[in-house]
Amino acid sequence: MKKAILIFFAICTGLLTYSQQFQVGSSTANLGVGLGTALGGLGNARPAISLAVDYGMWDVGGPGVISLGGYVGNTGYKYTDLGYTAKWNYTTVGARGAYHFNGFKIPRLNAYAGAMLGYNFVKYSSDNQDNSFVNNYASGLGVTGFLGGRWFFTQNFGAFAELGYGVSVLNAGITYKFL
């Protein structure tokens, strides 16, 4: 019995001590669902879904790595009232860079902050004969910031949360690390 307990603790300790620090050459992909948005629209919102990828490019002085990557996200609204239906569709595509702080001595944590240059494609449609609102929803370029963290359950799989602006204010979901 003592031997089984000792083996169990040895395995748990081994699982807890692998390093998840973001390094040059590290790649991650986040697939998330968003909560809250700053994008306009009436009626019922469709859940925001996003995919972000980061690749470790440069080791910088101090405990950190700079990554470059990409982002794509989509959300929309549907409003039905007064005999017509209006729809808004938002797709954001961007290039992002982040600083991954490796100074925390928590092996499973990857904390990061960064900025994104993105383009928001907006599409409005209505089955109403009045299309005067079509040109009021313009697509556009924007710069945004984000703050996030990843917690790895295994060497490759984990969960992430990001606070910032994309198609939603808070994004949470799963993450995968390519080794």
Render pLDDT for 114-159 as a digit per residue (tens, 0 to 9).
999 999 998 888 787 666 666 667 788 999 999 999 999 999 999 9
Asked whether the predicted pLDDT for residue 173 surpasses 70, the reply is yes
The predicted model gives 34-55 an average pLDDT of: 81
What is the model's pLDDT at position 103? 86
pTM of the model: 0.81
179 — pLDDT class (breaks 50, 70, 90)? confident
Residues with Cβ within 8 Å of residue 12, at least 6 apart in sequence = none
What is the model's pLDDT at position 38? 66
Structure tokens at 64: 């950190």
Asked whether the predicted pLDDT for residue 44 surpasses 90, the reply is no
Q: Which amino acid is at 15?
A: L
What is the model's pLDDT at position 132? 62
What architecture (CATH level 2) is domain 2-178? Beta Barrel (2.40)
- Is the pLDDT higher at 21 or at 161? 161
Weakest-pLDDT range from 4-8, 44-48, 83-87, 149-153: 4-8
d(CA 13, CA 121): 48
What count of residues does the chain have? 179
